[in-house]
Structure 1
């Protein structure tokens, strides 16, 4: 109980250390300023953290990604009361946003799904990204990202039939080795707290990574310039470790890795003057020993301890103190990543030392079943019991997924979960390999590995320039807003704004502008592939000459790093083989039982609805659908053609200096909704203007955005004959490629739109997709159609009652083997919980 009491005081009481009898007024004033600044930062720029729980991370085409979001206050881990709207995105390997879904939250919770339509999501690697508008104030720091892989069902798989059962021929796995060539290993050296002082025994951390960016186990020696051995080093299995030595200012040190004899310079170079922090933190001790070393003259220093943006202690160090050791209780910090910071009298940071504490004070979650072995298509009951660390029942919200271990890899000991992410990973930099390891295996080795992680990847910054105001506002809900101005560009007050939307159901809303000409539509229904027409009438009910500006969504910049995933190929390939083979089993079983006439792969023609294609639906050399244009919806039509149409380019006509557009070597001709734009072209007659026609065409291509287009069809070679006959002079022998563009309005190539009308395609809002979980009865249990689900069960909204209990059930599928039950969640007070269970299906 004492530990709980001290943890509660963490949020209320400041622990202050001083090293003199009476504090001077100047010191007291400086301390007060630091306390005030920490409080101000939490008020002006509070942080949010967002964690996403998925059903799995590897999928097949036509699968659905199921997920639940947990949005918390970064200081308390309780639900965030700041934002009420979360944005989720799927980004392809080219850095294009394929799909965006905005979701409302209640008590920081939300859930949704992405349906992986094959046309929109071809096989490959994707990034799932989630954030709030407020999170964007802090750059990329707290944006949640997860790699998602979509497998190809067309991959060649060795399959054989044994006793009527389809199985896969798996090649024996080759044991992985940690040996790499010289050029494949990169070692980074990081001195404790950031400074390496000469003539001082210090800790030097290091991390070794291979060409794929993964940690790799290494060992070797540190040599001086005369090739004398100073010390040896050895990493853990993730390539991290540390050693101690006394560096000399005149020496240059080299690390020699054993086995491959690679050489790496040890940097930074030792300094003669400076400061450093040495942290004494043992596994069994209840306190921290913090040693400050300084060679600075006439420099008073301030040492602070902080965690989650909250100040835990302040210690003032008098000028000219060369060495000082203090002890502080661990209990003044909460569970998670914390930091010791050394500052000079100008509040400039000189040194930082990160560390991690785990008081095991989170929710105690137990997941159980009556038995652990069931048959196929059996009903499986699951009981959940949740208490706090004192044994008191807790009402909380959880998400649960059950997956087939034959098809989905779940490492219950090492994979990321809600505890590892919100308490550790979110406050570190770079990829954290096997984060669950640091929570599940509590021993001396794990404790030392955790310290090596903090030394090499520790990163915590809750700092904020108080003179700067946050740019991005916290959004409570999804809104459509904008501004109306008159011909003089002045706000139009009391203008009537009507919004008519094509949605399910149809949306009709109206509102009035305020004195600044601003309007807002809120309390919107679920929006799925909707489009709206927004019309403005002035205060007299006339169209007048009003202009409408709609506030568009600004997403964070996208940085996709090209990764070499050689180290993961064996695992990914084995999953692919099993998943694809299982899909084949479904078809084979259905064929055997007469459910399917034959197994075929149907490749349908891409059809553009409303197209005026003279050749007929789907008859074109290249076809771009609305789905394929969705990732670049804000780009112009010209940019879309340049990026998506093969061979599209600008150039000059043959034997002429006239600029034009081409598809490969063919001159391009543009048709909008069946109307060729050349019909409206009137040349000026100036023979020297080689740019005139180009500018005329470009005006159309720049006017439209990709979001205005329903489809693009390129008609070259044989597909161009009907178009040439329709639109070109019969004596014209030149080769053309015709580009048929179908707009969403179908109105043809008319640039002038009514000034008081705005066409809007908003981001999809809300999700009503429900996970289908079959319920077998005695009649349907013998159904011949095979049930080979990889995700057996998904439930994002499990609530424990006041006794801390919840009961759910689901049915097993047809594949024998083992299932992993994965449960995680939180209460409203900032306590997190995680539990797993293994079931056997016979």
Structure 2
């Protein structure tokens, strides 16, 4: 075996000597490593983790969080990006809130208020990413699903259960929704209307009445193979005349039937080579399923048994024989049986097995060669191991027997995912296997207090002590959360942690059930189960074939700096760049006026602007001779679309039950504040009730059903412009746009129906406008659009929308646009542009009360669930820090959670508990 490197530094030295004698094109492994290094240099990997103050919330709470953005395999705090985006996404895959926060040394702090004016009970997601991370795609964003409950405002409590029944190979799903009041009394014989939606697409509508138990049953249709969004059902129950209460529920269904998949280790089943085969069984609810099975050959002989245990995962070993085929007889939890085929075993391939013994400093790799390969004589393959693009091992391996073993020293490896790839002599990838290296390389973080028991409202002092593995003190910027576990009980294995996110979830596509299980209390069992997860869950940061062929896609999104550049072009009305034009950027609120001149390509730039939330600009262009017959075009980055929720298994279908302690505590707090004449909490309004309203008078509008098509903006979809959104709307049967040149306006877009050649007459909030006058709205982001009606079939409907403006002549087809404020600003001037870039959100400071030593208490009850939050607790040069706060009026166990990263990328997390008597 020709070993080229075990550690990266040695390998680099070897290559420098080697390149003096061998052309890069003559050595396949060198070409592989050069491709890997090029990819790593051009695509540094950023990851985001959010430490939140608690795992779930109640309407009226504030989500306190700290963002950590790291770069590279060593998880060092990133200096590449200067901004991080944090989105709050609801069950309908719409943006409920979106923040842009400044990154300082790879860290940012922020908060989101769950106000009752915009938030209601349901399952929400927190998503976080940088612009640079968008190049890798949303699979690698921080994306966590959590529950939000409601308390005093609830008059209707509802839960949803799912009933799964088999219909041949398919699984039928029925939703059973139960409505009760606060005391558990059923809302019997009440009318309910419902609408099943996937994203913004309506799938089924219907209605019925609840039975004597307050239950309504809904048969859910078969799930589409390619869903456009997360599925959920909207219901409105009528509890009194004209009093309708809305409730929404997620549809917890990941597939049509229990999905069982088999994963031969390394990718191939090879005849006469013993191979480990991973098994993963996922139920229709997105969670792992316990199944059993036997492997049967084509002669009906039982050759192996299997059983999934941990989260629906397991494995079995199989030695395929030449000429035989294999299938697995699976027995599901309900007793049903199914036969599934295993991949066909071959003889002209390699098998790759990796034995990652956590107790040793060696990883054993075994390469199995099929009989057809051995008949060709001695062969040479290349084995490469990399972690996050960083090379860990590379060697040429001579193959002369059926099984070749390679022990690899792993003492210098860091914790994280390690990818082994086997390559042919010509450099083609043959096999892959990922393993998880779990070393004792985390920060040695100690959290302590002077005593373990405290009184109500007593001052608490918590000491932090941070050291590395050899006892050297560390300067670390920590985030610290203290919560009342009696009010916020939780399962730590089901939470995200700085370890589970940065070492695991940020690198793995798809849903991982209870990711912190593998890090909360590491044992031999958890490490074994983590290896099975690696066997059955894919890692695809890049595709080797693309790297080798040079098909690396250049980054679309640039790394965003702390300051913003506003750029654009000046164009003539005939569409040519205007050089030497004058550009003025104005903000009246700040009294800001900046000037610049366009270059030979018509481009202009305003640099190094620190833009906060709510700051907007007017940008004016002028010709060299101060004329305004030109167009200002602003360069804009299209926002990130909202993708469907992949964390189906984390969706909570009975929020009131799961969050009962938090909801009851919130009720007590609200009642106490009302008792003392305070209404300081956000969550105080009664539940929204929808009552019927009269239709507008005839002639002012039409019924929605009379329009040939209706468009409503999808907050989860960022199209770029309002025009793009119209063109991309679902089942677009109504409109396409044509670029024409007008004597008065120059180049402009006109809208035409797809069914006839006429141009649409365009109304905005009932006003008929010329094409010149709505170009600004059409080419804007559409954020002020409420809906659009298209009418082209009925002359009567056209006439109503146009309010008889065309008299007795045939009215043209109509595109009726309605804005949110009902007051569109007419008068299109292409030389003047309004621009509101997304600015940095303001950051609130966490308030914690202080009590004096006299024991004098505020008359208000202190029922905080989050006792303390500090996103910037910094240890001194001795590695120590102290935090102080006061307990609330709740007795029980309080949990202190400390997380952080030091400058070298060393991760730290510690949980500490004390009692309040």
> Normalising TM by the smaller chain, what interval?
0.7 to 0.9
Structure 1 equivalent of residue 844 of structure 2? 769
Deviation at 1:564, TM superposition (A): 5.4
Q: 1:493 to 1:743 in 2, by over 3 A?
A: farther
Query: Aligned pair 1:12/2:9, yes or no?
Result: yes
Which residues in structure 2 correspond to 1:533-682 (within 5 Å)?
A: 533-540=618-625, 542-561=626-645, 568-569=652-653, 572-593=655-676, 601=685, 672=765, 676-678=766-768
Which residues in structure 2 correspond to 1:43-62 (within 5 Å)?
A: 43-62=41-60
Structure 1 equivalent of residue 496 of structure 2? 416
Query: Aligned pair 1:37/2:24, yes or no?
Result: no
Which of 817, 822, 835 is matched with 2:892 structurally?
Answer: 817
SS at match of 2:54: coil
Q: 1:410 to 1:643 in 2, by over 3 A?
A: farther
Deviation at 1:642, TM superposition (A): 13
Deviation at 1:603, TM superposition (A): 7.5
Which of 313, 322, 329 is matched with 1:255 structurally?
Answer: 329
Q: 1:82 to 1:122 in 2, by over 3 A?
A: same
SS at match of 2:578: coil
Which residues in structure 2 correspond to 1:401-480 (within 5 Å)?
A: 401-412=481-492, 415-462=495-542, 463=544, 465=547, 466-468=550-552, 469-477=554-562, 478-480=564-566
Residues of 1 paired with 2:27 and 2:149: CA distance? 62
Q: 1:789 to 1:492 in 2, by over 3 A?
A: farther
Residues of 2 paired with 1:51 and 1:529: CA distance? 27
Asked if the contact 1:14/1:312 (under 8 Å) is kept, the reply is no
Deviation at 1:80, TM superposition (A): 2.0
SS at match of 2:73: coil
Structure 2 equivalent of residue 398 of structure 1? 478
SS at match of 1:560: coil
Q: 1:311 to 1:704 in 2, by over 3 A?
A: closer
Deviation at 1:768, TM superposition (A): 2.4
Asked if the contact 2:51/2:67 (under 8 Å) is kept, the reply is yes
Structure 2 equivalent of residue 3 of structure 1? none
Asked if the contact 2:149/2:656 (under 8 Å) is kept, the reply is no
Residues of 1 paired with 2:14 and 2:354: CA distance? 17
Give RMSD over aligned pairs.
4.7
SS at match of 1:402: strand
Which stretch shows the higher mean deviation, 102-111 or 315-324?
Answer: 315-324
Asked if the contact 2:298/2:324 (under 8 Å) is kept, the reply is no
Which of 783, 797, 800 is matched with 2:872 structurally?
Answer: 797
SS at match of 2:411: helix
Q: 1:36 to 1:564 in 2, by over 3 A?
A: closer
Deviation at 1:157, TM superposition (A): 7.9
Which residues in structure 2 correspond to 1:146-545 (within 5 Å)?
A: 146-153=144-151, 154-155=153-154, 185-248=258-321, 249-257=323-331, 260-295=335-370, 296=373, 297=376, 300-318=380-398, 322-412=402-492, 415-462=495-542, 463=544, 465=547, 466-468=550-552, 469-477=554-562, 478-501=564-587, 507-540=592-625, 542-545=626-629
Structure 1 equivalent of residue 858 of structure 2? 783
Which residues in structure 2 correspond to 1:646-725 (within 5 Å)?
A: 672=765, 676-678=766-768, 702=778, 706-708=782-784
Which stretch shows the higher mean deviation, 292-301 or 304-313?
Answer: 292-301
SS at match of 2:138: coil
SS at match of 2:462: strand
Structure 2 equivalent of residue 88 of structure 1? 86
Which stretch shows the higher mean deviation, 483-492 or 784-793?
Answer: 483-492
Deviation at 1:787, TM superposition (A): 2.6
Q: 1:603 to 1:739 in 2, by over 3 A?
A: farther
Residues of 2 paired with 1:427 and 1:742: CA distance? 42
SS at match of 1:479: strand
Deviation at 1:834, TM superposition (A): 0.5
Q: 1:158 to 1:212 in 2, by over 3 A?
A: closer
Q: 1:80 to 1:13 in 2, by over 3 A?
A: farther
Residues of 1 paired with 2:184 and 2:66: CA distance? 36
Asked if the contact 2:774/2:828 (under 8 Å) is kept, the reply is no
Residues of 2 paired with 1:184 and 1:51: CA distance? 33
Deviation at 1:278, TM superposition (A): 1.7
User: 1:659-680 deviations in whole A, cap 9, x for unaligned?
Assistant: 99xxxxxxx99664xxx425x6
Give me the TM-score of the superposition, normalised by structure 1: 0.78
User: 1:393-419 deviations in whole A, cap 9, x for unaligned?
Assistant: 000111111222233344345532112
SS at match of 2:833: strand
Asked if the contact 2:485/2:892 (under 8 Å) is kept, the reply is yes
Asked if the contact 2:297/2:303 (under 8 Å) is kept, the reply is yes
Asked if the contact 2:478/2:874 (under 8 Å) is kept, the reply is yes
Deviation at 1:800, TM superposition (A): 1.0
Asked if the contact 2:140/2:509 (under 8 Å) is kept, the reply is no
Asked if the contact 1:186/1:208 (under 8 Å) is kept, the reply is yes
Asked if the contact 1:223/1:229 (under 8 Å) is kept, the reply is yes
Residues of 2 paired with 1:413 and 1:564: CA distance? 17
Indicate the structure with greater strand content: 2
Which stretch shows the higher mean deviation, 148-157 or 413-422?
Answer: 148-157
Deviation at 1:780, TM superposition (A): 9.1
SS at match of 1:801: coil
Structure 1 equivalent of residue 192 of structure 2? none
Give me the TM-score of the superposition, normalised by structure 2: 0.72
Asked if the contact 2:670/2:684 (under 8 Å) is kept, the reply is no
Q: Structure 1, unaligned stretches of length 5 or more? A: 1-7, 160-166, 172-179, 607-612, 652-658, 661-667, 682-694, 714-723
User: 1:79-138 deviations in whole A, cap 9, x for unaligned?
Assistant: 223222222222333333333322221211112222333333343333322222222222
Q: 1:209 to 1:744 in 2, by over 3 A?
A: closer
Asked if the contact 2:460/2:886 (under 8 Å) is kept, the reply is yes
Query: Aligned pair 1:754/2:839, yes or no?
Result: no
Structure 2 equivalent of residue 839 of structure 1? 914
Asked if the contact 2:713/2:785 (under 8 Å) is kept, the reply is no
SS at match of 2:77: coil
Residues of 2 paired with 1:59 and 1:508: CA distance? 44
SS at match of 2:882: strand
Q: 1:820 to 1:168 in 2, by over 3 A?
A: farther
User: 1:233-272 deviations in whole A, cap 9, x for unaligned?
Assistant: 2333312121112223422321332652422414212223
Asked if the contact 2:47/2:506 (under 8 Å) is kept, the reply is yes
Deviation at 1:828, TM superposition (A): 0.9
Structure 1 equivalent of residue 176 of structure 2? none
Asked if the contact 1:184/1:210 (under 8 Å) is kept, the reply is yes
